[in-house]
Amino acid sequence: MAKTTFDELMSIGIDIGKDIFHIVAFDPEGHLVMRKQIKRLALVATFDKLPRSVVGMEACLSARFVSRTLRKMGFELRIIPAIYVKPFIKGQKNDYNDAEAIAEAALRPNLQTVPEKNQEHLDLQALNRVRSRRTATINQIRAFLIEQGITVRKGLRALKNSFEKILEERKDEVSPRMREILIGLYGAWLWLDDRIDTVSKEIEQISRTEENCVNVITISGIGPMISTAMVAAIGTGEAFGRGRDFAAWVGLIPRQYSRGGRTVLGRITKRGSWYLRMLFVQAAKVILMRTNRWPDFSFGAWLTKAAELMNRNKLAVALTNKLARMAWSILRHKTAFDAPRDEAAIGV
């Protein structure tokens, strides 16, 4: 058999690590022609010697940077969700087997890939992630208090109002070291509150000037947080063929189990972006709280009828799904919502 050369490369898979990348390449006949380990700084020099071909990688923190770098060099990039790579792994899991599976998955014609984010979308995503850090800090404070046998009723305000009182009255139950840890976390919480106020104002300003965000906000119940988070996550929505595909990506469609022509639907999948899903659920619950405003919404008649058929939780999920599909349609077609917006409605 004639020796395969790099000029015959057809597919390259990269398993991205913190400092080390593992690369596997196949020729057009599917023969393995390269297995190589490189350092991150050698990425450009290594690929500069390879013929321009399809390059696949799993979606991760570094994937966008690597994708932009290689795309500028003329490669065709495909960022693949990890769940779609798993079926192609042969043998035990290791870095080279992962890279080989990625290379094979990258050639599947109907495989759903992750859209590449530009720098503006990454910046907008970072702003939204800063806002979500506060919840993690508060939950950590609650967890440490519970480990000391101290529970606090639900709610951010309840914990903030009682924190100093708890440390004073229960000082015999909390060790000096744990007390210092809790005080440090509380200080970080207060700092995050100030930082979040600044970030929230910046997000609101962006939502008023960025065209796609402005269009999405015209949907009742949707505000600056959802619009900016959605644009940051999916750009113009071109990665999805229809609203249902976007709702599935957010994890808002039921799990399906079909066998012998019988289909069983279960709970929602909760796959994809948990942050975006959480925001849409919050928007739906805000709308459900104000039954007197339902007639003002274009989907008010549907909501009224659905409320008679579903319990509160199912109704919230159904409305969340509907809001997500409408938001995708508005984003994809670059138009405002067809119904007039209720100026008094509060959006998330």
Q: What is the per-residue pLDDT across 275-301, written as a single tens digit (0 to 9) for each?
A: 899 999 999 999 999 899 898 888 889
Q: How far apart are alpha carbons 41 and 318 in whole angstroms?
A: 48
Q: How far apart are alpha carbons 299 and 221 in whole angstroms?
A: 12
Q: How far apart are alpha carbons 256 and 281 in whole angstroms?
A: 21
Ranges 21-35, 51-65, 328-342: which has the least confidence: 328-342
Task: List b or e across 40-73, with b for residues whose CB sees 16 or more CB atoms inside 10 angstroms.
Answer: eeebeeebeebeebbbbbbbeeebbebbeebeee
Q: What is the per-residue pLDDT across 198-238, written as a single tens digit (0 to 9) for each?
A: 888 888 898 898 999 999 999 988 999 999 999 988 888 88
Please report the pLDDT score of residue 99 as a whole number.
94
CB 33 within 8 A of CB 8: yes
Q: Which two tokens stand for residue 255?
A: 């799990």
pTM of the shown model: 0.74
The whole-number average pLDDT for the span 249-262 is 86
User: Is the domain defined by 6-105 classed in CATH 1.10.3720.10?
Assistant: no
Residue 24, classed as helix, strand or coil, is: strand
CB 212 within 8 A of CB 293: no
If one compares 247 and 29, the residue with the highest pLDDT of the two is: 247
Strands 76-80 and 54-58, sheet pairing: parallel
Cα 223 to Cα 27, 65, 274, 332: the distances in Å are 49, 30, 18, 18
Confidence of residue 341 (pLDDT cuts 50, 70, 90): very low
Please report the pLDDT score of residue 199 as a whole number.
85
Residue 71, classed as helix, strand or coil, is: helix
Instruction: Delimit the domains of the chain by residue range.
Output: 6-105, 119-209, 211-333
Q: What is the per-residue pLDDT across 45-71, written as a single tens digit (0 to 9) for each?
A: 999 999 899 999 998 888 888 999 999
